[in-house]
Structures are given as structure tokens and as C-alpha cells.
A = this chain, B = another copy of it.
């Protein structure tokens, strides 16, 4: 038996449940800069690609089979699939799909993956209500702001305690976004946040299992349900987030209220959202980027290379030091495989971490020619690479910040290439191209009907 010290209650918290409700209900449509609005489009499009890409994964098949036992009404689209289910279960399954590859967006300040809970909830609800693209984007920015501000308030203590912060704050982001989309007033939005506050989802212990992507899925599901309950008069505590026995003080030992209230309505956390170019942990990204540059900038082909020497931060070998990965899953923890993939293909998407690629003889041989040593002068975000070619030449690449970081965001073309890689195998090139158009022009769409139609395979 273990017993630890009790938490000391903070009885003087500001009324953040009310403040967030007023913000979500009252902030003007598109009340932010062009850059924030562009980020909303990128966040939505990146989320959509990730969800469609995983449409055939066993986590989706398994959760869909469970949901089918409820004979759900065909209200909302499952991305990349022909089945339709009710709003709440579409939010659940699309949320699971979008996080299945661990390839979705990251709010780096908190490690929250905000689109999974929020966008999954919103698209399902928008399909039912007939909301416009503009209304969906507004709700996305505001919902993500709520989730990430609550994350900032509690990070890192809440995460260190063992909560999967994406799911625990995601319920509130999803409820906020859905309240906005339903046009709830501040009082009802406050109730929706209160109802959602009682439903945090997610333990870090589940990492490595399907319950990890269940967390954003479960959080997404809580969004429309909390907002619909509030719409119909269901009540919760007006101080559900901040009271001594409320959300923050129960699930965290740190609660920095200023992170919620500071510059509310002026600074938008979606501005700090990033997108992964490579379908693996961020710690390998500088090395993959360096190898892709070797190929793309310096014109070096894989078969020209005698050896590659990396100088890396210690975390790289600690977390991803597998020299001879045996399958796709293991290859995600191999900086050697990441480098080989960057050099061979110029990329490292979900396909490059498949069993078939990992076991290819040329990849096995190339991985063996990659060597890494720890150099304490190298930052976690950086890598120093020297390629020795068979003709004796040496090519050096130093990456300070990898592509996909806040300092070096993915370009529009790179985001589209990632989307393409995820979507074409599921829907084909024509639908993929149409969907990209739908995403970039979402603010002008009268509703989401065309977009969701394009996100499903054509009927046989």
C-alpha cells in the first residue's frame, strides 16, 4: 500500500469555466489573423489525411464492429469508408483513426494532438447540422484554443502524473467546439464544458495499444454529447473547471490559471500547432530530414553511399537505437531505418514503416551503413551528418531544426505530398485532388456535404 500527500485546494481560482464559455460563445467569426486562419485550414487538412489513411487499420475495423452492434443511424461519414454511423460514434471512430498512425498534429508546448478530439467531433456534427465551412473553422480554432490553454495550465504535471493529455483536455476542446457549432449561448456553453469536465479520457499506460488512439476518439465523442445535453437543459457545476473539487485540481497538481486567461481572444494556440512530415517519433526527424536533404539537395543516391555518420543528441539512441528492426513497428524506433528511408525514398511516411519496406534487402543493407554516436554538443532538435561516398567524396549536412518544427514548418507542397501519400491508397488520385481543393476552400463551403462525399470511396 502506498499513500501520498494530499493536494492543497486552491479556493481562489478565477472563474475560468465562465470565461471560456463567454469566449467560445461570443468571439467573432474569423476573429483572428490570416496566419491563424491558414493554420486552421492546415490543421483540418492534416487531420483529414491521417484519418483517411488509417481507414482500413484494425483499430478502426475493431471499433466499427463494436459500434455496429448498436445499429447506429447513418447520420455521419466515417472517413475513407462506406459505412455511416451516428454523430457520436462517427466522432469516436474518426478520432481513433486520426491518431492511429501517430502521424497527426502536435501542439508542441503540451504534446497535445488537438485535431483528433476537436475536428472529429466537429465534422460529424457539422454534417448533421448543415453548418458552413466557415462555422466549422471558427469552432475548430476556438475548440483547440480551449483544449490547449487547459493543457498549458496543467502541463507538465498533469502529463507526468500519467494522463494522456490529448484525451483529458480534448473532451473540453470538443465540447467547446460543438457548443459553438450548435450556436449555444454562454450559459449553455458553460454547462457543456461542465458536463465534459466530468469525462476526462486517457492514461499514458495505454501507449502502444489501440486504447491510445481511443483517447482522442473518446474525447471527440464527449464533444457532441456534452453540447447536446447542454442544449436540452442538462446542468453541471458553473465552476466545474476551477473549483477545489473540479477538473483542474482533481486531475493535476499544477494549475496555472493565467495560462487560460492570458491574452484570451488575442493569442490563439492553434498558431503553435505543428505537423509531422515523418510517421515516427519527433526525436528521429532531424536525422531523416538530413538524409532526405542528402538525396534532394545534394543529389546523392542510396547506392553511391559507403557510409553515413550521425552525431546525435543522447535521446536519439536512447529512444530509437534499434539497429536491426524486424518489422514495421520496430522500425519506428530505429534512427537507422529512418535515415535509410530518407535517403532511399526522400520521405518516411506510414508506408515506409511497413513490414515490406523494413525487410527489403536493399534497405537492410543501407541501414547497416548508417552509424550514430552521441555528441553532447548537439541539440535535441538537430543533427550533424557526414556521408562518405564510394568515390571517396564527403558530403556534410547540418540540420538545426527539422522540417515540421515550429522554426521550419512544412510547406504547403510538403503537406499536400503527405496528404497524397495517406489518401491516394484509400480513395485514389482523383478523389484525393478534389479533397485537397475542398480543404483549402473550406472557408467558402456552404456546408460540408461535398467534402464528406469526397472523403468516402465511391460505392461499388
Tell me the A residues contacting B by CB distance below 8 Å. Answer: 1-8, 10, 58-59, 62-63, 65-66, 69-73, 75, 86-88, 128, 157, 160-164, 167, 194-195, 197-206, 208-211, 214-215, 218, 225, 228-229, 231-237, 239-240, 243-247, 249-250, 253-258
Which of B204, B214, B234, B256 has a CB less than 8 Å from the CB of A234?
A: B214
Q: How far is the CA of A197 from the CA of B205 in the complex (A)?
A: 10
Contact (Cβ within 8 A) B228 A3:
no
Nearest-Cβ distance from residue A247 to partner chain B, whole angstroms: 6
Q: How far is the CA of A254 from the CA of B5 in the complex (A)?
A: 9
Closest residue on chain B to residue A246 by CB atoms: B205
If A62-B234, A211-B198 touch, whether A205 touches B240 (CB-CB below 8 Å) is: yes
Which of B72, B160, B195, B200 has a CB less than 8 Å from the CB of A211?
A: B195
Closest residue on chain B to residue A71 by CB atoms: B73
Q: How far is the CA of A97 from the CA of B161 in the complex (A)?
A: 34
Query: Chain B contacts of A210 at CB under 8 A?
Result: 234-236
Nearest-Cβ distance from residue A93 to partner chain B, whole angstroms: 11
Q: How far is the CA of A203 from the CA of B228 in the complex (A)?
A: 20
Query: Chain B contacts of A243 at CB under 8 A?
Result: 205
Closest residue on chain B to residue A164 by CB atoms: B198
Nearest-Cβ distance from residue A206 to partner chain B, whole angstroms: 5
Contact (Cβ within 8 A) A199 B228:
no
Query: Chain B contacts of A246 at CB under 8 A?
Result: 162, 203, 205
Most chain B CB inside 10 Å of its own CB: which residue of A4, A75, A256:
A4
Query: Chain B contacts of A244 at CB under 8 A?
Result: 162, 205
Contact (Cβ within 8 A) B237 A211:
yes
Contact (Cβ within 8 A) A240 B87:
no
Contact (Cβ within 8 A) A236 B198:
no
Contact (Cβ within 8 A) A229 B62:
yes
If A88-B70, A214-B195, A228-B66 touch, whether A205 touches B162 (CB-CB below 8 Å) is: no
Q: How far is the CA of A246 from the CA of B244 in the complex (A)?
A: 24
Which of B7, B198, B203, B215 has a CB less than 8 Å from the CB of A247?
A: B203
Query: Chain B contacts of A62 at CB under 8 A?
Result: 229, 232-234
Contact (Cβ within 8 A) B253 A235:
no
Most chain B CB inside 10 Å of its own CB: which residue of A209, A239, A255:
A209
Query: Chain B contacts of A208 at CB under 8 A?
Result: 237
Contact (Cβ within 8 A) A2 B6:
no
Query: Chain B contacts of A237 at CB under 8 A?
Result: 203, 205-206, 208-209, 211
Query: Chain B contacts of A236 at CB under 8 A?
Result: 206, 209-211, 214
Query: Chain B contacts of A157 at CB under 8 A?
Result: 3, 6
If A62-B233, A73-B72 touch, whether A198 touches B201 (CB-CB below 8 Å) is: yes
Other A-B contacts than A162-B246, A199-B201, A210-B235, 13 sampled, CB-CB below 8 A, are: A3-B157, A4-B7, A4-B8, A4-B254, A6-B160, A66-B229, A72-B86, A205-B237, A205-B239, A205-B244, A205-B245, A206-B236, A210-B236
Closest residue on chain B to residue A230 by CB atoms: B66
